[in-house]
Structures are given as structure tokens and as C-alpha cells.
Chain A
């Protein structure tokens, strides 16, 4: 007698009444291919886990963002936020698309220079610019965004000593109706500190005040905050024009647009709630156009978006290590990528998918990484099909911040590949090895041997 096909025995609770948050979970369609390349073949060739970046998606998203702004405003410039993802291959895609560089440390500054970005197209942000790097930035005519008075005075001193005219802007923080307020960076708008700083710069005579900068926060879900920010910077520009007859070259609205990831605890998925580039662009450009800035003096609009430009292009593919049950009976699935590789798991309910159709049956599952630590939760409470040991998964929208904030811990950081527009994989950062780690270490002579 022919035997029947076996299926795993399953019992599921039926939810009466209102569907719960998880009740409305859509079917998890597998992701078998990224840009038409099989995920399985990539894992077979490059190992597991594996970061995969899509060049096509990076370029498409950039063009979309650029079009949203340039179709509304005469002079638009993006500057790639290095900290978001400073793999050279990634930075150079943005530079090829026309973006300048936005950096916040000496290391990032040198990285941008080494990539070939001209010094005068590097925006130098952040509270930590050493004297050596300020000198370098001044010599290279980079765009120095001053964060605090100590830095302002240091630059005034350096300008005299070096007999140069540093190109500067100030970073402004302000109330845009979003809490908590980001008031630790730059000079405050409401209490007049920003205006004082601008007057101090104008009085110094030997600084070239070329712009105003703000970065109101990250993952901002409201476009209204940007409208307010743009209006406030425009007010400062108007005051500069009337008091000092000084026209600014640019207004820099920073980054902070939300990506389509879902924040932890959010009720609706980010893909339903995130404003579009057009929405953000409309808020910002209309505020600038409606301001009192004279039409012939409309400054260049600079944007420094990170996550909204790259999150979508990044995937983390890997392998299931094991399944178990927690003490209360809930399912736990352990995968080979931990929070040390996926820092953003602390913020997002990442969209994780199997790579092939499993069964229609899903179960409330917690997905853990392989680290021996309680915090290593990649995804709590997701209705997920039962993957077996050895099955593969793909986590979507991991392009922002993970490849810069990841930590080497317990295991080596894995390969990163870029799929070019023809789907050809390029290894753009190779897996670390024991030698990579040991190369940084120095064991004192007396600790070099032992007898056990």
C-alpha cells in the first residue's frame, strides 16, 4: 500500500472577536531571490550569515529621493551620511549618483578623501573634530558645521594662525514638536543661541559663513517637523540678510526620514505609515519657497539622508541553527545571526522571511541569535512558519547602520556582497578571520607560553 504524505500535526488557537496585532499578519511570502539571484546559491558561495546589498535598489531609491526634491526646488544636493553605511563600494555608488560626503569623525573624513571626494565637497559634522582634523578641513576648504562655542573659538584661532578663511555653517537645534528634543547638538534656535553664534561668526570677519544646518532626529514619521525646521532655518537666513546683508549658499536639513522598517511596538507596519520622499520634499521645499528669503537668493538645499536611502537595499541571509520550546511552551527558533550583526534589531521589528514556501501553518515564535546572551533577540513574537535546522532565512531592510555599528563578538563578522545591476555578486567586504583579530593584538613576552 502506498503511504500518504506526512504533514506536521498542528493545533492553533482561533481568535474570537477583534483580530489581534498578529491576527492581521499577512502571509509571509518567501524571499527566494534578491534581484533575481537565488539566496541559496549566494549562501552556498559566500557562506552564512551573509549581508547582501542591491546596487539597483540603492540607485533607484536615490533617484527617487532626488527627483522628489529636484522637481520642487531649483537647487538640490544630497550628501551621503557616511556613518549610515561607509563601505567604500556603497559610498562610491552615491558619489557616482552625485552625492557629496557627510562625515562626523576624522576616520570618516579620511575615508571620504580616500574615496576621491574633493575636500570642498565634504561636510564635516559632529561634536568631535580634533584640532588636527579642523586644520585639515580648513586647508581643504571643507564645509565645517560648527557644533558648539568651543569649536567656534577654536576655528577663529586657527583661521588667524593659518591665515585661511574657513568655510563654516552652524548646526542649529530647535523645537519641531517632536519629543524628546534633540538639543544636544548645535546651537539652540528658540533661546537665541544660534543667532548669537551667527553674529559672532560675522563679527570674526575671517570666517566664511556659507550655510545653516540642522538634523532634527532620526526615523522622523512626521513631515510637519521638517516644515517647521525649514521655516526656522529660513528665518535665520532672512535675519542674516537684513542685518548683515549676507546671503547664504545653502540650507542643510540633515537626514532623519523614516525607512519602511517597522519600529518595535508600532501597531501598523512601517511600509504603511512611512511618509514618501514626495511628502517630505513637499514639506521642506514649500516652507523654503514660502519664506521671506528673496527668490534670487534661494540657497542650495542640502539633504543628508541615511537610512531612508539605504535600508531597503540591504538584506541579511542566513541559516537556522535549531528550534526549541521555551518554558511556557512558546516556540524559539535560533538563527546564525545575532544582535551583534543586526544592531537595528533593538529598534525594529525586522521583516524576516523563509527563502522557500514552508507550510501555511505559522506559530507565535521568538527568533534568537546565536550569542550566549539574553539580549540576543532578533525578533520577538512573530507568526512564523516552522523552519528546520539548516533552512535559510532572509531579513529585509538592514542596509542602514548595521554594517557600521556591528560588533565582532564570539564569531567573525561575515562577508558582505553587492549585487550589481546585472545581478553579479561582488565581495565588497570579506569575512574577518582569526588572523584579522589577532593582528591587532600584542601578547607580552612573559605571557606567550604555558604548560597545562
Chain B
């Protein structure tokens, strides 16, 4: 399972700071929720179940957005290298 880098700081307002690169990012509320779950080591299955229970969205749509979101995290070097 993909891991978020440990030293990444996530504030309650959705502000993300990468001390390594000095770059900062902003998350929307769902992005923040998902990032927290992933950072805590939750699997895609868990995250998906959680989101589908809570929000009005179908499994396929969520899956597509989830992996798209994860690939952006990779693009921004916020994940541990594989």
C-alpha cells in the first residue's frame, strides 16, 4: 500500500507543508479526509467503504477520483518512493 511521507505536515484547514522541498499545497475537505486516512495506513477498500457510506457517490466514480488523487500526490512527491 502506498505510504504518505512521514514528515509531511497537514493542518486542520487543509494546508499541507513539505519541509523537504519547502513547497506548500492546499486540500479541499474530502482531499484532507482521504489524505488523513491514507496517511494512517488505511487501504483503498477501507477508504472507499468509508466515503461511500458518508457521501452521495457511486463506487466506480469514487475509484476513478481516488486513483487520480493518489497520482497527484505522487506527482507532488508527497508519497514514499515505491
Contact = CB atoms under 8 A, between A and B. Distances in A.
Interface in B43-79: 51, 53-57, 61-62, 65-66, 68-69, 71-76, 78
Interface in A1-17: 3-14, 16
A11 B27 CA distance: 5
A23 to B, nearest CB: 14
A272 interface: no
Interface in B23-58: 23-31, 33-35, 51, 53-57
Contacts of A3: 53-56
A9 B28 CA distance: 6
A4 B55 contact: yes
B16 interface: yes
Contacts of B51: 6
A14 B24 contact: yes
Interface residue tally on B, bucketed by range: 20 to 34
Given A4-B55, A328-B75, A329-B72, A9 B24 contact: no
B31 A11 contact: yes
Could you tell me the dominant secondary structure of chain A's interface residues? loop
A325 B71 contact: yes
Contacts of A12: 25-26
A7 B27 CA distance: 12
A330 interface: yes
Interface residues of A, number: 18
A13 B55 contact: no
A53 B21 CA distance: 49
A41 interface: no
Contact of B35 (A5, A11, A329): A11
B64 to A, nearest CB: 9
Contacts of B29: 7
Nearest 10 CB-CB pairings of A with B: A329-B75, A6-B57, A9-B31, A6-B55, A9-B69, A3-B56, A9-B30, A14-B24, A10-B28, A8-B65
20 contacts: A6-B56, A6-B62, A8-B28, A8-B30, A8-B69, A9-B27, A9-B34, A9-B35, A10-B31, A11-B16, A11-B31, A11-B35, A11-B76, A13-B25, A14-B23, A14-B24, A14-B26, A325-B71, A329-B72, A361-B28
